[in-house]
Structure 1
């Protein structure tokens, strides 16, 4: 008699192994899908963070553009040499800077530069904050470098600012000419009175605190021999204004002669 239980046992064992293997494969598949989903979720979170950051930057840029604000820089600007009172002063809307003053570069008389600045600003404003904040606009080179290195909050008034400036560049004061130089300026043999006076006046302007009497004596001594020199010797002008009045008449005569020569037909 055959034992059927023994012949059926291997078949059941194989079926069980097949089922277990299938279950294992299914579990592995489920774990792989779970891991893939987790990975996708992580990527989406990263992308979401990047998107949010980009949107925040764009929103901030749009906000700055609307308000006119400048985004903060990574490198902070150094402290300003002006006091809080000067910097907080609200500049007038209609204020304009004079544009005819040459910038001071550290060479020349600093006192002359301050005087010119004062005179040009006279019609605009004599307000301390405006003077202080306008003056650096007319500095360049070594002078601008000096200003940029001043201690923070060290300037509280324009008088103080001007004094610091003049004292620092006192050694740069250069007088190219002195009154004795004027005695070397002579009218050329074919030089007009107008050209002579222009050349003489230009040199005289470079001499600080020039005595008008010295200037008058020098300009009369520089005239070339001729009718105008003789007329000046007779008239004996006592001031530069009187001399200029005489010179104006002579300039008109010379210009008339020049016009007649140009209109004369060639021979």
Structure 2
């Protein structure tokens, strides 16, 4: 608390942590932001509370006086306190059992697939590409991947993006056609006598 902070020091805009998300991810975000401003360990400790709110800030304010010697110690206490909110690392098994739902769009599935890939520890790109084919539901994109397997994750993302555009365009056309049919049906109901013969003509 006795450290002299220069008037030129401006704290970065922190991503605020409230105790409900992964504490290690917050430490990394905070450290990256502070590294551009200063390497002074004491200032890091002082500034840490600026990145907290709600339950996390209440915890920080209850730390006993003189209980923190450096940022490394503060980091350990912080991660231990909010360990229940830590993001659990996944295994290859979760990737092997991942399947695209029958009515799940390719965009939603690819987001889910890539998030899973990022959370599997020590996963090689080759394995990530290997498990995408069995995870896809039958359709044009699966056929494309089966005929010509992507060599990199970047190629997979690019080809998926192309197919997503086509898929969403088809869905848009389908929705427009359904709305047009609905409007025609409503117009027919609003004028039930249209197209029917008059009473006298009907008697004849």
- TM-score tier by shorter-chain length is 0.5 to 0.7
Number of aligned residues: 178
Which one of 114, 127, 133 corresponds to residue 220 of structure 1?
133
Distance in 1 between residues matched to 2:9 and 2:31, nearest whole Å:
21
TM-score, scaled relative to structure 1: 0.53
Question: Among 70, 75, 84, which residue is 2:2 paired with?
Answer: 84
TM-score (ref. length: structure 2):
0.66
Q: 1:155 matched to which residue of 2?
A: 68
Match of 1:184 among 74, 77, 97: 97
Rounded to whole Å, the distance in 2 between the matches of 1:174 and 1:96 is 24
**Separation in 2, partners of 1:119, 1:111:** 12
Instruction: Pick the structure with greater CA Rg.
Output: 1
CA distance in 2, matches of 1:259, 1:249: 16
- What are the equivalent positions in structure 2 for 1:54-69 lying under 5 Å apart? none
Once the 2 structures are TM-superposed, how far is the Cα of residue 215 of structure 1 from its aligned partner? 3.5
2:169 pairs with 1:256: yes
Verify the 8 A CA contact 1:103 1:140 in the aligned structure 2. Answer: yes
Change in Cα spacing, 1:219 to 1:135, as seen in structure 2 (3 Å) is farther
1:60-119 deviation digits (Å, cap 9, x = unpaired):
xxxxxxxxxxxxxxxxxxxxxxx422xx32454643432x343335xx653333112223
Q: Which residue of 2 aligns with 1:211?
A: 123
**Cα separation, partners in 2 of 1:125 and 1:247, compared to 1, 3 Å:** farther
| Secondary structure at the counterpart of residue 159 of structure 1 | helix
Structure 1 residues 174 and 217, CA gap change in structure 2 (3 angstroms): farther
* Aligned Cα root-mean-square deviation (Å): 3.3
Structure 1: runs of 5+ lacking an equivalent = 1-82
- Match among 10, 14, 19 for residue 104 of structure 1: 19
Deviations 1:18-41 (CA, angstroms, capped at 9, x unpaired)? xxxxxxxxxxxxxxxxxxxxxxxx
- Aligned partners of 2:73, 2:81: CA distance in 1, in Å? 14
Alpha-carbon distance, 1:235 to partner: 2.0
1:7 maps to which residue? none
Q: Distance in 2 between matches of 1:142 and 1:228?
A: 45
The 8 Å contact of residues 100 and 136 in structure 2, kept in 1 or not, is answered as: yes
Q: Distance in 1 between matches of 2:35 and 2:133?
A: 35
Change (3 A) 1:94 1:120: closer
- More off after superposition, 128-137 vs 228-237: 128-137
**Contact 1:204 1:210 survives alignment (8 Å):** no
